[in-house]
Amino acid sequence: DSGVTQTPKHLITATGQRVTLRCSPRSGDLSVYWYQQSLDQGLQFLIQYYNGEERAKGNILERFSAQQFPDLHSELNLSSLELGDSALYFCASSVDLADTQYFGPGTRLTVL
Amino acid sequence: AQSVTQLDSHVSVSEGTPVLLRCNYSSSYSPSLFWYVQHPNKGLQLLLKYTSAATLVKGINGFEAEFKKSETSFHLTKPSAHMSDAAEYFCVVRGATGGTSYGKLTFGQGTILTVHP
């Protein structure tokens, strides 16, 4: 157990819908990262936050947004969902940007 | 930009024999490199990391990796495979210190390790 929690574990929804994925970092970690794992794209970096501020963006679609709250938990919002958004979404956290990232168990999103 | 290439998509070994998972990296700076493992339907677990200290890095569960700058390689090895080692392994490089992608991890495509009894 890495200490990073993600909810829900599984999410099944329909095209066009909007969902929110939640991540709680390890105690003491200020940085949160989101990654997407799909069969065709592999593991890809989406976005990172440090102490509430966005620090870097990767291959994140405009339909996706995220934020990190004052209590340091983070949410990833996915809207206007498409079949291709079906994937495993991981959250990771670290003490700071130079530290090792520890991954949560992931949220498996299925878009029907 | 940094990248990693895992040279084998699948590796199959017998229990008790050595494991070698190959990874080459590309980076314009001294990289931080990692190996993560993902067991079926599980999250990613850190095996080991290299951050410019000793070039031979020891990790958990008997795994180790050697950083070879001249070969731009960071291969993962284990002397004797166990059935529980069957999983997917990812070689990972981290974005450069101070750069706009600092902290960002770039993953290889993964190597699926199968261990036969």
Asked if A103 and A25 count as a contact pair (C-beta separation under 8 A), the reply is no
Residues 6+ apart with CB under 8 A from A78: A18, A19, A20, A21, A63, A64, A85, A109
Separation of alpha carbons B75 and B24, rounded Å = 8
Summarised one tens digit per residue, pLDDT across range A65-91 is 999 999 999 999 999 999 999 999 999
Q: Which residue out of A97, A99, A102, A107 would a mutagenesis test of the B interface target, given it has the greatest number of B Cβ atoms within 10 Å?
A: A97
Residue B85, phi then psi, degrees to nearest 5:
-80, -10
Q: What type of residue sits at position B90?
A: F
Beta-carbon separation of B103 and A48 below 8 A: yes
Shortest distance, CA B45 to any CA of chain A (angstroms): 7
Q: What are the chain B neighbours of A32 within 8 Å (beta carbons)?
A: none
For A39-57, what is the mean pLDDT?
Answer: 92
pLDDT above 90 (res B52) = no
Token pair belonging to B58: 């020891």
Summarised one tens digit per residue, pLDDT across range B54-87 is 899 999 999 999 999 999 999 999 999 999 999 9
For B5-31, what is the mean pLDDT?
Answer: 94
For residue A99, the model assigns a pLDDT of 85
For residue B103, the model assigns a pLDDT of 77
Beta bridge partners of B41: none
